[in-house]
Amino acid sequence: MNHSNDSHGLIQWHGTTIIGVKKGGKTVIAGDGQVSMGNTVIKPNAKKVRRLGDGSVIAGFAGATADAFTLFERLEKKLEQHRGQLMRAAVELAKDWRTDKYLRNLEALMIVADKDVLLILTGNGDVLEPEEGIAAIGSGGNYALSAAKALTDYEDDPEKIARRAMAVAAEVCVFTNDRVTVETV
């Protein structure tokens, strides 16, 4: 993930590509493995997509790694508190993320899913459920989103859609590579 200084002198992280595709009763989240600092690739094989809790929730992040792990831990706690109800846990996490003094400074975006919902979570308190069952974040997110939308009429397998969309993003976005991690629910 590359970074730049914002007007407050804080490091702003952007980079990577994460896509979620929900189709035919199956949901896939895929992410690339590149970690960049400026124009330098620091690590080519980071795992930005993982299973949470009892394995029934999958999540991917774009942003600072340490911040993402903090958010994953918080989401797991919310899932425990709300008996695995992802939508409720996501809304509660988003509230905390927006209002908590510590969490408010975390630089990350997340895509989370279970067998029922696919959501984008932001530090602004947003819990967004994409209408068409496709969500993408990160610097290559718009490329992957466009590719997935184009493919969805021609392909029924959400994993094939996600993998091809990630390949397109890796070809176009310099902060995205082709070392893809995929999780499915």
Amino acid type, 171? E
Cβ atoms within 10 A of the Cβ of 116, count? 11
Q: How far apart are CA 116 and CA 34, in angstroms?
A: 29
* Cα 100 to Cα 161: distance, rounded to the nearest angstrom: 37
Q: Which domain holds residue 113?
A: 2-184
**Of 102 and 181, which is predicted with more confidence?**
181
Residues labelled as active-site residues: 16
pLDDT at residue 39, as a whole number: 79
Q: Which two tokens stand for residue 53?
A: 């809790």
Indicate the average pLDDT of the chain. 88
pLDDT bin (cut points 50, 70, 90) of residue 15 is: low
- Per the CB < 8 A criterion, the answer to whether 173 and 143 are in contact is yes
pLDDT score, position 84: 92
> How long a stretch of residues is the chain?
185
Phi, psi of 140 (to 5 degrees): -95, 10
Q: Are 98 and 125 in contact (CB under 8 A)?
A: yes
Q: What is the pLDDT of residue 134?
A: 98
Rounded mean pLDDT, 88-105: 88
Backbone angles phi, psi at 99, to 5 degrees: -105, -25
Q: Using an 8 Å Cβ cutoff, are 61 and 70 in contact?
A: no
Supply the CATH number for residue 79's domain.
3.60.20.10
- Whether the pLDDT of residue 26 is over 80: the answer is yes
Amino acid in position 158? P
**What distance in Å separates the CA atoms of residue 64 and residue 17, rounded to the nearest whole number?**
13
Helices (H) then strands (E): counts for the chain: 4, 13
The predicted-structure confidence for 126-180, as pLDDT tens digits, reads as follows 999 998 999 999 989 999 999 999 999 999 999 999 999 999 999 999 888 899 9
pTM: 0.88
Q: How far is CA 183 from CA 2, 47, 67, 109, in A?
A: 24, 11, 21, 17
Work out the pLDDT band at 11, boundaries 50, 70, 90. very low
pLDDT band at 6, cuts 50/70/90? very low
Instruction: Name the domain count of the chain.
Output: 1
